[in-house]
Amino acid sequence: MDIKIVLIGAGSPAFGPPTFIDLNRSEILDGSTITLVDTDENKLQMVYEVVSEDNKKIGNKFTIESTTNREKALKGADFIINSTEHGDRFELRWQDNTIPRKHGTTERMGENGGAGGFFHSARQIPEIVKIAKDVQRICPDAFFINYSNPVSRICLALKREVPKLKMLGLCHQIGLLTSHHIQAMLNRDLNEMQLITGGLNHFAFLLGLKDLKSGVDLIPEFNIKCMEYFKDKWDRFHFADLTFEIYKMFGWFPYVGDNHICEYLQIGSQYTTQQDLTDWITMMEQANKGGTDRFKRYHKRLKKGRYPKKGMLLKEPSGERAIPIIEAIIKDSNSYEIAVNIPNNGIIDNLPQDLVIECSGTVNKEGVHGVKLGNIPKNIAAILRIEASIQDLCVEAILQESKQLAIDCLAIDVNCGSFEMAEAIFNEMKGVQKKYLPNFK
């Protein structure tokens, strides 16, 4: 098939090779050109050599290219998948996590919410907006798929700065719930049910569940069985005290897990400990290092002529949804996706329309279309609107490079609540991360 797919950030072993595994499993993308792009030439070359070797082992199904020149890569592109991080991911993430707390915030994760989430956004948004503007200029009909965090805030900035861009954001957080918990709880296969989700990325809820054959609403059965099912499955990193307190008080299940939703609620710090989130980030950092080290070992074996016969290709897909969505667009299949991040545009009536939401959707040749939810429960809408307002101000502060708006955003965040604290955080974070941040003035 004469399709060009560009992977931006492909020098990361956690992105480039797993995406190639998904491509290899595709039934319709044989013959496509896969262009690997990264600013780190050494990492990019290593990934290119390994992926090229694996491509040989499967009969050269694809044309593999690599370049550090983004403009060159984007020429003739049909799909762009972005997974980039501006600066050292974990060095900066630890700063996002610890410095705001030093000044008194109730920061827990500091990735997508809280003061840490603001500075993560400030590093990411300007760089990804540049990429998107290049896409709009060079290949305006291409679809842009964003994996980079903070997904909601990046996608909101893209909506405002590059409004004609065909864009969606993806996150795999729903996978944990859908892969086994609901199936086991209700004793039904996933393909026999339709899950309907709604909210914001890392702050979303299961708002519908039905049997596809009979049309029966399964939410009542879910509510009857949920607490008993999870009684012996408490997981401090996923479904634990905070998840079930929200479920009990608001009546709808937050499928995102404690380690995500704790960033957005004033009560988050009452139910998740800082040690929990420190351990989580440590575990993610170690997993990232382990995956990188494993990849380097494969590369060394390749250079020494001892590369495994089966290569690095795994039997199982990565679990990410970019390649299945690309297939659905090409086939015009009208397939169903449980969770995508797209502009609201009338999907949820009682949330701001100038917002990027997470919701279920269908995919055809025109792109991704959200399942209309109308008015979601008022209590859920209320807590989402708080975060929506913070995201609105966050994005404007970054796009305008406004120090005052930045401090205002930090101060009104549910993890802070003090202008004095916000200014102290801003000054220290700007000092340590200056080379990665906009020119706030």
CA distance linking residue 235 with residue 405, whole number of Å:
37
Catalytic residue among 86, 120, 172, 202, which? Answer: 172
Which pair of structure tokens corresponds to residue 223?
């509510």
Burial of 181 (0-12, 13-18, 19+ CB in 10 A): middle
Q: Do 337 and 363 meet the contact criterion of CB atoms below 8 Å apart? A: yes
* Helix orientation angle between 114-138 and 378-400, rounded to the nearest 10 degrees: 70
Query: Taking Cα atoms as reference points, which of 294, 338, 327 lies closest to residue 312?
Result: 294
Q: Do 259 and 283 meet the contact criterion of CB atoms below 8 Å apart? A: no
Q: Find the radius of gyration of the CA atoms of the chain.
A: 22
- β-pairing, 143-146 vs 356-364, is unpaired
- The CA-CA-CA angle for residues 213, 210, 257, to 5°, reads 140
Q: How far is CA 420 from CA 122, 271, 396, 426, 431, in A?
A: 20, 26, 21, 10, 17
Q: Which amino acid is at 229?
A: Y
Phi–psi pair at 171, nearest 5 degrees: -150, 140
Active site residue 181: no
Q: Do 36 and 55 meet the contact criterion of CB atoms below 8 Å apart? A: no
The string of DSSP letters for 90-101 reads HHHHHHHHHHHH
Burial of 338 (0-12, 13-18, 19+ CB in 10 A): buried
Length of the chain as a residue count: 441
Q: Which residues are catalytic?
A: 172
